[in-house]
Amino acid sequence: MNGDGHLHARPGAAAETLPPGLHRVGEDGDALLYVPAGAPDDGPAALVVMLHGAGGNAQSGISHLQPLADEARLLLLAPSSAGQTWDAIRDGFGPDVERLDALLEEVFAECEVDGGHVALGGFSDGASYALSLGLANGDLFTHVVAFSPGFIPRSEREGDPRIFVSHGDEDSVLPIGRCSRRIVPLLATAGYHVLYREFSGGHTVPSRVAREAVEWLREP
């Protein structure tokens, strides 16, 4: 059990390569992997792991960035949580970390991944979880993308990933005042480089915000 949230999978030389398109991966086939057009012929691609919100699934997780994946040459991996939401949101790290570690091993074996652009992202509960797990694995994840997070579950921290946070100023699910407007200053005080975007709207990911996040994480 990965009780400390540490992930062991690392990018390397892929033993085989998957063709472009959407693939079901994982032991139960309940995770989705999108391979962008042009892969693998154009060389290693950036990888973004996207985590869904509470009550969601892999499809809802991947939906936020899939429309941009071909243009930005993004590999997208979207797992499903074992329960209604991610393990550390309610308790501590456990089965979801184990499942993600196994999925990453599979992706790294089948796709050429740019080790300089490995991101963990999510929406709502998935964003909260991405912040916690991403900061615990900053030696793997170079970027963390948090769309409308609620809080940062406690974890040990390692490395120095760059962080993107967005939040709607009319969010009634996770109000901005007690969420991102508290989270972002804490991250900045801890020394992390944070790009923060507030937008007019509710609990959602506007297409312009998703595009800005993708452009940000693709920077050299």
C-beta of residue 162 within 8 angstroms of C-beta of residue 193: yes
Q: Is 119 helix (H, G, I), strand (E, B) or coil?
A: strand
Distance CA 130, CA 23 (A): 22
**pLDDT by 10s per residue, the chain, length 220:** 467 899 999 998 887 789 999 999 999 899 999 999 987 788 899 999 999 999 999 999 999 999 999 999 999 999 999 999 999 999 899 999 999 999 999 999 999 999 999 999 999 999 999 999 999 999 999 999 999 999 999 889 999 999 999 999 999 999 999 999 999 999 999 999 999 999 999 999 999 999 999 999 999 8
For tokens 């699910």, name the residue: 173
Tokens coding 100: 């993600």
Q: What is the DSSP string of 127-154?
A: HHHHHHHHHHTBTT-SEEEEES------
Calpha distance 30→75 (Å, rounded):
17
> Roughly what angle, to the nearest 10 degrees, separates helices 125-136 and 95-110?
70
pLDDT number for residue 135: 97
pLDDT value, residue 1 = 47
The structural domains of the chain, ordered by start, are 21-217 (3.40.50.1820)
Integer Cα distance of 72 and 70 in angstroms: 6
pLDDT of res. 2: 66
Chain-centroid distance, C-alpha 64: 11
| Burial (CB count <10 Å: 0-12, 13-18, 19+), residue 173 | middle
What's 18-66 look like in SS3? CCCEEEEECCCCCEEEEECCCCCCCCCEEEEEEECCCCCCHHHHHHCCH
